[in-house]
Structure 1
Amino acid sequence: MKARKAVLLALNLALTVAVTAPAFAQGGPPPSEPVAAPAEPGAIALYGDKTPGSAASEQWIKFMGRDLAVRNVTRPTITPVLPDPAKATGAAVVVAPGGAFMMLAMDHEGWNVARALADRGIAAFVLKYRLNPTPKDDGEAGKFMGAALQSELGHPMTGELLGKSSAPADGKAAVAWVRAHATQYGIDPARVGMIGFSAGAMTTRRVGLDADTPSRPAFLGYIYGPQDAEPVPADAPPMFDAIALDDSLFPSKGFPIAQAYLAAKRPVEIHGYQRGDHGFGLGVPGTTTTLLIDQFTAWLSMQGFLTRKDSK
């Protein structure tokens, strides 16, 4: 029973929302509540008239009366969050929320992140990618997701949750979509990157490193993703890699993926926060994880991605 609670707690951290499962009844996180789907002004069908699925499949919840999350997404969308033109740098980032490929933490790791980037002059595009299906009932969904996650602890990059997901395909399409509409949004198509959190980080990694990606992002923000190594292409995009060293979902293995980057002679920066656990989003108060977006922005500036072509 203790092991089961630990797995479900890890799931809660991974999704950044509490699932209404019986294991949370004694002293666990407060349950989420089902809510009507938000309006999502500005959301654009990712594949235009060919976009699959329907918004009717979606099930939305609100965590602690504050953060919206969604399950059973079958219709992918992309939502622009733009900076004040006076501050715009011409750089853009596709934002991929996490949720174990079974849920999306749309506020915590999506819209909130996009607004923070826009405040710093970076155009952000929140990707609501397709998810692996879960039971309609919230309680049953909690059990289902807990079991699915438990089966993949220790090997998330090679597990079925990622393997069966449409997230990497939607991520590739999102980067291509932003580049295709760069003029419309005042963006330099050569400075379109991607940042992802947890499952969104894994999605970002696949979009950036898969050899068959025709339009790799210019840079990658890899936020509390698994640190497992894999071969890094000679033309891999620069990577900003951040994780808390007390991450309870992806326990510390060091930084093998960063070491693989170094072996490939590709730019990489590592931030290993002392505390923050999994799912810290824009930061846990009282920890250095609150510096994440400013550090990511400073890194982008150091790489030259925030310098406009017309700058002198």
Structure 2
Amino acid sequence: MNMVELSLVMPVKDEEAAIGPCLARLIPVIEAMDDPAARSFEILFVDDGSSDATLDVIRKANAADGRIRGISLSRNFGKEAALTAGIDAARGMAVVPLDVDLQDPPEALPKMVAQWRQGFDVVYGVRDNRETDSLPKRITADFYYRAHNWLSNDKIPEHAGDFRLLDRKVVEVIRRMPERNRFMKGLFAWAGFKQTAVSYHREERKVGRTKYNYWKLWTLAIDGITSASTAPLRIWSYLGGVVALGALGYALFIIIRTLTTGIVVPGYASLMVAILFLGGLQLLSLGVLGEYVGRILTETKARPLYVVRETIGTD
């Protein structure tokens, strides 16, 4: 493997219109840096099963500039798997995951590289605003970060995405993580090392449209929490204990009331409320347990995280 100073890893799916503008803005920013990375870098696109001409655009970009490389996966494996494929194939002493939509601005790269040169192993980007997000998304994102960090020992920086610089030794640690249920921000946090933040202004998406809807964001949030913590299982154990103690206390109350005031026939409404409440708790606890059992099944299959169909510009 011929090493370079800096690797930019960009998972893409149906982004044929975004690649050109991205390269036109990204490459001048890198070449203008007063750093060896300006003369030794690569841009690695990971085509995650695109159905448009994304792969052809990557081929043309590679033919025009050998510093641009590509990997085509055999189907759509999802962004976390595609990002993993890019990190595995990256040759840089520093690796930066970056979105092709330019919402995470390339102009933040010189600051990240400067912090890396000062000895930091991970330099993560933190949004100084979420103005490009809708109000419901801002509220749910803030709630998720707080919930994740409360439940997990692996704290993730609030309002930090995948946009970050990773030193080669951090990359090697991440490459050794075998789990199939990938939540990359959690893996970055677990790796540790010396970290610092760089603030940046998140921009509006200028080309194409996002592939993430609210359902995908919800499943990603569930993956993030269940991959980083077993606290949800523990919470339901505690809740079950509280309900059991409450039931025991209520039983003692009924016994004492019966002995002192006589037998009172319970009402239908209260009985139904108790049955539905306990039934709901049981179904919720089974759902939480099922999430973890499903992940155990996925891990025991030990299937590859991704399958590479084609490589472009790879030595």
Q: Same fold (TM over 0.5)?
A: no
Higher relative contact order (CA 8 A, sep 6+): 2
Larger helix share, 1 or 2: 2
Q: TM-score, normalised by structure 2?
A: 0.29
Larger Rg: 1 or 2?
Answer: 2
Q: TM-score, normalised by structure 1?
A: 0.29
